[in-house]
Amino acid sequence: MAVAPSASTEEIRAAYRVLAGRLHPDRLTDASSAERSLAERRMREINEAWRVLQDPERRRRYDDSRRQERPTAPGAERSETLWPPDGDDDDDLVDVLPEMGPVGTALFRHLPWVALLGVLVLIFVATAYASKDAPVVVSKKAEPGACLDVSSGPTTTIVACSGPHELRIIRRVEPATDCPERTERRRLGTDGLFDCVRPD
């Protein structure tokens, strides 16, 4: 957390409290010994910085030493950042991902949705091909007197009339011909004829 060299003691105290609350070792209940050691070292550094910067005399000496370490050329702007020194952020963190441009960032942010869309498209294509290649089983020829079992969906199977069935074929007619009364028109075969059926 950076504070300006001109920051008041109250601003520095507020920054100290934020850092101490965020990085205190007591917050690491399930941490390894290495992580706990790093947190303790950071806490010592934060406490030392606060010890120096809260006392006006120590702060003046610190500011003087910083000016001597970093001489500025005439007319050059003085850096407004007090911490980290020399712009070096010694927080022992390792970058996991390389820098990404705006396109890479947008893609990374929306990657779960893109993956979900890809899976849905894959499922759609797979089911389209699976239903296209599904075999059609015809146990008997559609002819008058044959019995039908109607399952869910558009599937109708010709079955033995001695077993369970729902419909019976009464007559087969040309497309332009009407079915007799109390029958229903269905197309069961591929020969272009319609089947007149009724509940049995």
Enter the CATH code of domain 9-87. Answer: 1.10.287
Query: Tens digit of pLDDT for each residue in 162-186?
Result: 888 888 889 999 988 999 998 988 8
Q: Which residues contact 106 (CB under 8 A, 6 or more apart)?
A: none
Q: At what angle do helices 102-109 and 111-132 cross, to 10 degrees?
A: 60
Kindly report the pTM of this predicted structure: 0.36
- By CB atoms closer than 10 A (0-12, 13-18, 19+), residue 45 is middle
Query: Tens digit of pLDDT for each residue in 109-160?
Result: 788 888 999 999 999 888 877 654 444 444 457 788 888 887 766 667 788 8
Contact 138, 158 (CB under 8 A): yes
Q: Which of 57, 56, 82, 55 is nearest to 70 (CA)?
A: 82
Domain(s) labelled CATH 1.10.287 in the chain stretch across: 9-87
Maximum CA pair distance of the chain? 111
